[in-house]
Chain A
Amino acid sequence: MKEKVNELKQEVLKKIENINDLNSLQNIKTEYFGKKGKITELSSILKELDASQKKEFGMLLNEIKTYVTSSIDSKQKEIENRILDEKLEKERIDVTLPGTVIKNGSPNMLEGLIEDLEELFIGLGYDVVEGPEVEKDLYNFELLNLPKGHPARDAQDTFYIKNDEILLRSQTSPVQVRTMLENTEKSPIRIICPGKTYRRDDDDATHSHQFTQMEGLLIDKNISLADLKGTFDIIAKHLFGDKVETRFRSSFYPFTEPSVELDVSCFNCGGKGCNICKNTGWITVGGAGMVHPKVLTNCGYDPDLMSGFAFGFGVERLAMLKYGVTDVRTFYTNDLRVNSDRKDV
């Protein structure tokens, strides 16, 4: 009896081993576990045995049932997996075909640079303030210590709109004036004012009748040129890397006294001299100075109590230097082949 059971077991296992498809497996199931299946039939013998044999044979039968069932199950899984694998293989795609084009919009390079600097200044406690582009002569020039007829106005050939009173601003400095005037408590000020500016220049590779400035103004007690130098250091290193050095050169602006040019050591050649720095090792990137006492007075601040610095950058110039643009018109052409959608713009 025992032998017969084992024989049956071996027989089933052998059959399963050679099977490759689910149908044949199902046939085996029927052959052994179906109504008239060989294993099912063995169970009917059980009834005819006496109690002691029943127990022994029952255990044996259970064992073989479990064993065979699990063998069939694992065979079934094996076949199913194989079929799935074959199916998936047929679904293979060409991963080298291009992806769907989902474009992210890019900022104009000037805007990218402005936002980058704004982030820096906001971190330093500056507010970002803007003002009108159609401006009064009073704010654009007169209160900035540039009275009518002042020869220094020559440097800013201006578009006038109405008489000689309303103009397109030639600099963003009027925003400083407005901010100082609006501050009725005459309390400290820390602002930057980026914006569009206009001068009567014919457009070419290095001139643009419309351009962008970013100016800064800080007014508080005991502010000195050394504070300006430290602030400029941060801007320069932020823009051109930690290795650049800075220097002041004496300059003139009607609204600052003393006035300085802001130079950085050439980030291209490291100061050795190249065509970017015109072999001087230094590049002028902006102008600055201590706010002129007349400007402070004009705007209601007492130069004996408060002092401050102001600085200004031409954003186009910075962008040309930083990104290697050689024609200022590039910023206004908006050629979509220029892809400045980059985390560092």
Chain B
Amino acid sequence: MMRISTSWLNDYVDISDEDLKELAGKITNAGVNVETVEEYNTPNLVVGQILEIEDHPDSDHLHVCKVDVKDEILQIICGANNLEKNMKVIVSKIGCVLPTGIEIKKSTMRGVESCGMMCALSELGLEEDNEENHAKGICKLPDDALIGSNPYNYLGLDDTIYNLDLNPNREADCTNHIGFAYETAAALGKKVEMPVTKCHPIKDSVLSELEVDVLTDNCTMYNARKVKNVVIKESPDFIKERLTNCGMRPINNVVDISNYIMLEYGQPLHFFDADKLGKSIVVRMALNGEKIVTLDNQERILTTDDIVITDGEKPVCIAGVMGGINSGIDENTKDVVIESAIFDPLKIRYTSIRLDLKSEASRRYEHGLNYEYTMEAIDRACYLLEKYADAEVLLDTITYDNVDKTPKVAKVTLSKINSLLGVDMTLEDAKKSLNNLQFPYELKGEEFTVTIPNRRNDVAMREDLVEEVGRLYGYNHITSKLPRLEDKKGGYRESVRLRKCISKRLRSLGLNETRTYTLISPEMDGMFAYEKHETIKLLKPLSSDKSVVRQTLIPSLLNVAEYNFARNMDDVNIYEISNVYYDTDKEETKITILMSGNYIYNMWQNEKIKSDFYVLKGIITNLLDYLGYEGRYSFTSTKDINDMHPGATALINVDNRPVGFLGRIHPKINKREIYIAEISMSKLEEKKTRSYKFKELNKFPSIVKDVAFVMPLEMESSTVEKEIKRSAGKLLKKVQVFDLYRGENISEDEKSLAYSLTFMDDNRTLTSDEVNELFNKIIKDVCDKLKIKIRN
């Protein structure tokens, strides 16, 4: 944010006749964003004059006043003790909202009507709200104050402030009033007038009192001048007011002048106490480990990447960042050496970041300086020191100058301007924009050869000129059209489409999509690992709970579940599909589902389908079928995934390779029944699927046979199914479990599973004899092979 004082701005470009709010709009439209306009003007707050004062009939301290506010005479009750007849006062009329937020309403005080308020400065937020200030009573304005006008004008608060929200490319030229004056002038088509810099030096020359040596390429310009016998005192009002209005605290005339010039030219200056500095200035890179105590009384340890100003031996200033306490101005300073220099922006940037010393000065150095202003600013400083600090200015300037002064030139044609902006500008329009910008140019045919002023280091090439011309011409001249392009089908590329399909399917199956943070704590990342990868850690995390890039989404979803459980949301059926990262740059897309509580329910009927292992498994098989993996997947139990229930967890395999797992979370992690599934979408993607083809339906009847086996508890159904299929051959079309039984007639360590077998031939009708024969063979094979019995 940069604060511009418009009364100061008026020194360089005439805006005295402008409506400052309107002007702010014009400048914003032209491209520099004036975000807010601060003006001291409160509606319904006016200058008034007390015509009559009478005592309140029913109070010993209140007064009933008649106050002239130009359009009317108001009756106002007031308790202040400094009321005088004919006194000019600040009146807040009914409806006025004071800067402190208080709204003035019509009221009745002890039976007498009051139509407004006469204000003290504390009530306007201009003084502290304390006993002492209350005792002063209301504010008395000068006798010549105009009744009905804005009272702030009589309080020295007649400046309007522009708060600029600058884009980084305009930091260099718009963080000073002269630069912003050029932008203002461009918006108005006016010219800029530069400030007075001419002083009256004494006969002595600085050349005999100071030597400057620059030993590093990181300083391209170094100017030094010297003044003597300064009188340190308070700054004149206009300097104090302007600095304050721009957000800087006035200190004393000498320090204030250096800040004033920085806000004027954008050139930070450094003032040394000449007696402390001595006769020599050497600019060089710091030595490793070299130390300096800066003006804020902190010892700083330097590196060879820092530029320092030395007195030939020890550092006296960290260039562009902060001065040393060993050479600074104090109340006893007599002679001052003024530095106006240009340092390498990157070096200043890195030093200020490393030392955590970002300042108004470093901000300007790192965006680059205009050498013309570097030279002018030092003269302007001498002028102001002479005028406001009684300084005697020494003759001459010591200058080290290694600046490349080759003019920056760029070319642009009118047709390029029009084709890039999509407008229909004339040559005159383009010329007008360049003239307003005060960019010198030559015109040949329709080609402009533009010399870019040094104050604009953000403009360098053809497209920059297109933007400059365009923004002044006005983007509101652009007429919308759609690009005329070759027809092309749009769509999701590669895995994006797959992810969208899966996401929509899971949603239609009743799962809520969640979005959780990629960055988690190292503890969370260690959970639910079933493959070992190296975790990616941030170099400088904001906090440890967001310090690693996650490899698993499960802990994040568990947190979501906990959050909702805590709010009495017991049915949590959620999923997230996100990328995880490991081993520096490996990327994998994971589908994670968490289910707990009920899936489908009807409370008053006491009917529910709980979110359990088999519901989740059903969702996964639904998804895998939908994606085209029907018949290619299997589930095998596993005990190897940490934090999962060892007896209720299965690997999900496609083509006999694991692509994920599902199961119940280990009760030690959470006592609730929580089921999760994690599938690697990336692994799924590697397993290609065939596109759907219609298959003629079988015309021949099928025969269904049921059988139940009794087997040991731990035998898995898939084992039995596998044997049935192996024995049956291709006439068996389908095997379905339709009953699980434990209890009477079966021993405690056994269970019974019943299967329904569907037989069919694609080419003929099967006879019941052949099916019976096959059925009996299957039963015999299964019983023999698995050593189990048929249930009677």
Contact = CB atoms under 8 A, between A and B. Distances in A.
Interface of A: 97-108, 110-111, 115, 118, 121-130, 132-134, 149, 151-152, 154-155, 159-162, 166, 168, 188, 190, 196, 198, 200, 202, 209-210, 218, 220, 222-227, 229-234, 246-252, 257-260, 290, 292-293, 303, 307, 331-337, 341
Given A166-B584, A248-B478, A259-B467, A128 B493 contact: yes
B738 interface: no
Contacts of B479: 226, 229
A340 to B, nearest CB: 9
Given A107-B503, A259-B467, A334-B564, 4 more contacts: A168-B519, A232-B480, A233-B480, A258-B420
Interface of B: 28-33, 167-171, 345-346, 349-350, 366-367, 419-423, 461-464, 466-467, 470-471, 475-476, 478-483, 485-493, 495-496, 500, 503, 506-519, 536-542, 546, 549, 560, 563-564, 567, 569, 571-575, 578-579, 581, 584-585, 587, 598, 600-605, 607
- Considering the complex of A and B, which 9 residue pairs feature the smallest CB-CB distances, nearest first? A226-B422, A224-B422, A250-B31, A252-B167, A258-B467, A105-B507, A248-B475, A122-B490, A230-B480
A229 B490 contact: no
A154 B358 CA distance: 12
A229 B422 contact: yes
Contacts of B541: 159
Given A127-B490, A127-B492, A307 B602 contact: no
Given A198-B518, A225-B475, A125 B487 contact: yes
Contact of A161 (B29, B503, B536, B607): B536
Contacts of B518: 133, 168, 196, 198, 210
Contacts of A130: 493, 495-496
A121 B578 CA distance: 22
B509 A105 contact: yes
A149 B350 contact: yes
A127 B493 CA distance: 6
A336 B419 CA distance: 51
Contacts of A128: 490-493, 496
Contacts of A209: 517, 519, 542, 546
Contact of B517 (A188, A252, A293, A332): A332
Contact of A258 (B366, B463, B491, B514): B463
Contact of A332 (B423, B486, B516): B516
Contacts of A335: 563-564, 567
Interface-centre pick from A151, A152, A247 (highest chain B CB count, 10 A)? A151
A106 B512 CA distance: 5
B422 A225 contact: yes
Given A105-B511, A259-B467, A249 B585 contact: no
Contacts of B471: 250, 258
Contacts of A100: 600-602, 605, 607
Contacts of A124: 490
Contacts of B579: 132-133
Contacts of B29: 249
A209 B578 CA distance: 17
A336 B170 contact: no
Contacts of B513: 105-108, 111
Contacts of B564: 334-336
Given A260-B475, A336-B564, A129 B490 contact: no
B170 A125 contact: no
A161 B30 CA distance: 40
A200 B598 CA distance: 39
Nearest to A233: B480
